[in-house]
């Protein structure tokens, strides 16, 4: 499934969690990620900018071997768990060898009938992780300079420094900073 298809599917997602198999992991994107974190299990939310759709994508992931416990949590809440390859209710994995036969997509239905504020959740995720939300991009070069001068480079690991530079690059590219 392409990123464009995932984004389109999540835009139309009203009350489901879509779990997509990617190698040895399952991932939930955007609204599905919000619902899994809010109603099922507090996973760490990751995000990345995807050029083909020109937006940040939020996602959570877990190993395929954790699928039985995730399914059990969902079923205990009264939700229907469906294997989309066969569109029949899916069964728990009983052995490690069963991982090879897992579906490419699991659909958890009937998750929420509540009014959800997805945009507020997205902004909170960015505020928690970076301190700058996508709805409040930098508007002045002086704000960019302040971010740079406030970054504790002397205490940062090389990876943290690289991630900070990438964040600055995204802010310059997608914000109003010139």
| Between 146 and 131, residue with greater pLDDT | 146
CB 99 within 8 A of CB 93: yes
DSSP 88-141: EE-----SGGGGGG--SEEEEES---S---HHHHHHHHHHHHTS--TTS---SH
Q: How confident is the model at residue 95 (pLDDT cuts 50, 70, 90)?
A: very low
Of 113, 42, 114, residue with least CA distance to 73: 42
**Percentage with pLDDT > 90 across the chain:** 43
For residue 117, give every residue at least 6 positions away whose Cβ sits within 8 Å of its Cβ, in sequence order, or none: none
Kindly indicate the confidence band of residue 150, based on its pLDDT and cuts at 50, 70 and 90.
confident
Q: What does the DSSP 8-state code read for residue 44?
A: P
Helical (H) or strand (E) element with 173 = helix 158-174
As beta bridge partners, residue 89 has: 82
Alpha-carbon Rg for the chain, nearest whole angstrom, is 19
pLDDT, mean of residues 139-146: 70
Per residue in 54-87, pLDDT (tens digit) is 888 999 999 999 999 999 999 999 999 998 765 4
Q: Is the pLDDT of residue 132 over 50?
A: no
Q: Is the pLDDT of residue 116 over 70?
A: yes
pLDDT of residue 140: 57
């Amino acid at each position: 499934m392409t990123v464009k298809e995932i984004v389109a599917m999540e835009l139309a997602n009203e009350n489901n969690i879509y779990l997509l198999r990617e190698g040895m992991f399952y991932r939930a994107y955007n609204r599905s990620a919000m619902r899994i974190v809010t109603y099922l299990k507090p996973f760490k939310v990751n995000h990345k900018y995807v050029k083909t759709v020109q937006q940040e994508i939020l996602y959570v992931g877990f190993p395929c071997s954790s699928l039985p416990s995730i399914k059990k949590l969902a079923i205990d809440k009264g939700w229907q768990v469906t294997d989309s390859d066969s569109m029949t209710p899916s069964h728990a994995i009983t052995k490690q060898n069963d991982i090879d036969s897992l579906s490419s997509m699991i659909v958890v239905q009937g998750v929420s009938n509540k009014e959800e504020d997805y945009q507020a959740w997205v902004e909170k995720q960015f505020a928690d992780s970076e301190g700058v939300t996508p709805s409040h991009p930098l508007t002045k070069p002086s704000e960019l300079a302040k971010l740079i001068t406030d970054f504790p480079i002397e205490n940062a690991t090389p990876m943290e420094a690289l991630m900070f530079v990438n964040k600055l690059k995204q802010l310059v590219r997608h914000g109003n900073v010139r």
